[in-house]
Amino acid sequence: MSNVGIVFISHSEKMAEGLKDLVLQAVGNIPVEAAGGTDEGEIGTSLEKIQEAIQRVHSDKGVLVLFDLGSSVMNAEIAIELSGLEHIKIADAPLVEGGYVAAVESSLGKSLDEVLHAAEHIRGKLKRA
């Protein structure tokens, strides 16, 4: 079974890698990559890291990209445009919670739109009564 690929973009390499480790331990072997920090190992984002991560997890099922801060999305949009690949979407979702839910949905073989919907709709469901 093919699964939707997941890419976590963070200004922190440790945050992106930690989230990748978390979801792989929780849901098993799905296509997930972390693109965190700059090429020099500093805080920030790297267009090249994002492009490479998208390439590694891309399949006919598509790729869902999640990000931490606003400038990450700009690099994600550029990476997607330059890739020439289809079926790549950016989630407007919290990175950790949305990423976790997206990984679970991907592991269940859901479509890109279903994975996107689940990630984006986790917002607000975490509030305590």
Query: Which DSSP string corresponds to 57-109?
Result: H--TT-EEEEESSHHHHHHHHHHHHHH--SSEEE--S-HHHHHHHHHHHHHTT
Q: Is 121 a catalytic residue?
A: no
- pLDDT at residue 125, as a whole number: 66
pLDDT in tens, 10-63: 999 999 999 999 999 999 889 999 999 999 999 999 999 999 999 999 999 999
- pLDDT at residue 71, as a whole number: 85
Where in the chain are the domains? 6-28+43-58+101-108
* Contact of 8 with 95, CB cutoff 8 Å: yes
Both tokens of 24, joined, read 């792989």
- pLDDT at residue 106, as a whole number: 98
CA atoms of 123 and 126, how far apart (whole Å): 7
List C-alpha distances in Å: 48 to 71, 90, 93, 98. Answer: 15, 17, 23, 24
- pLDDT at residue 51, as a whole number: 98
- pLDDT at residue 86, as a whole number: 94
User: Pick the catalytic residue: 11, 87, 117, 121?
Assistant: 11
pLDDT in tens, 69-87: 988 999 999 999 999 999 9
